[in-house]
Structure 1
Amino acid sequence: MSTDTPPGLDPERLRAHLDRERPGLVRGPLQATLIEGGRSNLTYTVTDGSSRWVVRRPPLGHVLATAHDMAREFTVIKALHPTPVPVPETLLLCDDADVIGAPFYVMEHVDGTPYRIAAQLAAIGPERTRGVVLALLDTLVDLHAVDPEAAGLGSFGRPDGFLERQLRRWAKQLAASRSRELPGIDLLQERLGTSLPASGAPTVVHGDYRLDNVLVGPDDRIRAVLDWEMSTLGDPLTDLGLLVMYSDRLPVENSPVATASSAPGHPGTAELISRYAERSGRDVSAVAWYAAFAYFKLAVILEGIHYRFTLGRTVGAGFDRIGTLVPVFIDRGLTIIKED
Structure 2
Amino acid sequence: MSTDPQGLDTAAVGRWLASVAPDAVSGPLDASLITGGKSNLTYLVTDGTHDYVVRRPPLGHVLATAHDMAREYRVMAALAPTDVPVPPMVALCEDTEVIGAPFYVMERVDGTPYARAAQLEKLGEQRTRDITGRMVDTLVDLHAVDYRAVGLGEFGRPDGYIGRQVSRWKKQLAASTSRELPGMDELVAHLDANVPESGDGTIVHGDFRLDNVLVDDQDQVTAVLDWEMSTLGDPLSDVALMLAYQQLGETATDGGGAVVTDAPRAPGYLNRDETIERYAAGSGRDVSDIGYHQSLAFFKLAVILEGIHYRHSHGQTVGTGFDGIGDMIVPLIDAGLAASR
Short-chain TM bin: over 0.9
| Match among 256, 259, 262 for residue 257 of structure 1 | 259
2:269 to 266, 269, 280: 266
Answer whether contact 2:45 2:51 (CA < 8 A) is retained: yes
Residue among 318, 333, 336 paired with 1:330: 333
- Cα-to-partner distance string for 1:58-92 (whole Å, 9 max, x where unaligned): 00111013110000001000000000000011110
Distance 1:250-1:293 versus aligned 2 partners, 3 A rule:
farther
Q: Per-residue displacement from partner, 1:23-63 (whole Å, max 9, x unpaired)?
A: 13211111001101121000111000111011000001110
Question: Are residue 183 (structure 1) and residue 182 (structure 2) matched?
Answer: yes
Q: Give me the whole-angstrom Cα distance separating, in 1, the residues matched to 2:37 and 2:235.
A: 24
Indicate whether 1:320 and 2:323 are aligned: yes
Amino acid at match of 2:298: Y
Equivalent residue letter for 1:124: L
**CA deviation digits over 1:98-144, x for unaligned, max 9?**
11111000011100001011111112111111111110000000000
**CA distance in 1 between partners of 2:90 and 2:43 (Å):** 15
Deviation at 1:222, TM superposition (A): 0.5
Which string of whole-angstrom CA distances, capped at 9 and with x for unpartnered residues, describes residues 214-234 of structure 1?
100111010000000000000
What's 2:100 paired with? 101
Return the alpha-carbon distance in structure 2 between the equivalents of residues 4 and 279 of structure 1.
48
Superposed counterparts of 1:1-340, under 5 Å: 4-248=3-247, 249-250=250-251, 252-254=253-255, 255-259=257-261, 260-338=263-341
TM-score (norm 1): 0.97
User: How far 1:317 sits from its partner (Å)?
Assistant: 1.2
In the TM superposition, what is the alpha-carbon distance from 1:198 to its structure 2 partner? 2.0
Alpha-carbon distance, 1:189 to partner: 1.1
Q: Structure 2 counterpart of 1:315, which letter?
A: V
Q: Which runs of 5+ in 1 are unaligned?
A: none
Any conservation in 1 of the 2:14–2:25 contact (CA below 8 Å)? yes
Q: Would you say the 8 A contact 2:236–2:290 is kept in 1?
A: yes
| Mapped contact 1:4–1:33 kept (Cα < 8 A) | no
TM-score by length of 2: 0.97
User: Which range moved further: 78-87 or 23-32?
Assistant: 23-32
Q: Which amino acid aligns with 2:36?
A: G
State the SS of the aligned residue for 2:229. Answer: coil
Whether the 8 Å CA contact 1:130–1:265 is kept in 2: the answer is yes
Q: Percent identity?
A: 58
Distance change >3 Å, CA 252–CA 326, structure 1 → 2: farther
Which residue identity does 1:73 align to in structure 2?
E
Unpaired runs of at least 5, structure 2: none
Contact (CA 8 Å) 2:52, 2:107: kept in 1 or not?
yes
Indicate the RMSD between aligned Cα atoms, in angstroms. 1.1
- Asked whether the equivalents of residues 55 and 103 of structure 2 are also in contact (C-alpha less than 8 Å), the reply is yes
Equivalent pair of 1:45/1:53 in contact (CA under 8 Å): yes
**Quick check: 1:156–1:233 contact (8 Å CA) kept in 2?**
yes
Letter in 1 for 2:38: R
Judging changes above 3 Å, is the alpha-carbon distance between structure 1 residues 4 and 112 closer, same or farther for their aligned structure 2 residues? farther
CA distance in 2, matches of 1:13, 1:90: 19
After the TM superposition, list the runs of 4 or more consecutive aligned residues in structure 1 that deviate by more than 4 angstroms.
none
TM-superposed deviation, 1:199: 2.5
What are the superposed Cα offsets for residues 198-222 of structure 1, whole Å, 9 maximum, x if unpaired?
2221000000000111100111010
| CA shift for structure 1 position 250 | 3.2
SS at match of 2:42: strand
Give the 3-state SS of the residue equivalent to 2:39 in structure 1. Answer: coil
Q: How many pairs align?
A: 336
